Amino acid sequence: MLRENLKKELDKLNDEQLKKIADFIADLEFQSRQVASPTPFWQKATSIERSKEFREWVSQFPQNNLSLPDEAFSRDTIYTE
């Protein structure tokens, strides 16, 4: 009964709302993996698994085109006034 009611409610949501729900579900899954295993993920995962997890984590951040200016990546700007 609950599952059917949730499906109906999900059908009413717009894309932005569905994205928030997807993020929430991903967070729940991440938390359940953390609780389920006493060994940290990074210790037992292969490099490919760690890379995949990192890419999934990065993909949850906003996709705007804001970035630091090129000067922010230069060591020279650290020492100038």
pLDDT digits (tens, 9 = 90+) for 62-76: 877 777 888 888 888
User: Please, which residues have CB within 8 angstroms of residue 21's CB and are 6 or more apart in sequence?
Assistant: 10, 13
State the residue range of the domain holding 42: 2-60
Tokens 């997807």 sit on residue: 22
- The total of structural domains in the chain comes to 1
For the question of whether the overall pTM of this predicted structure is more than 0.85, the answer is no
DSSP letter string over the chain?
Answer: -HHHHHHHHHHT--HHHHHHHHHHHHHHHHHHHHHH-SS-HHHHS-HHHHHHHHHHHHHTS--------GGGG-GGGGS--
Residue 78 lies in a domain: no
pLDDT tens sequence across 48-59 = 999 999 999 988
Would you say residue 65 lies in a domain?
no
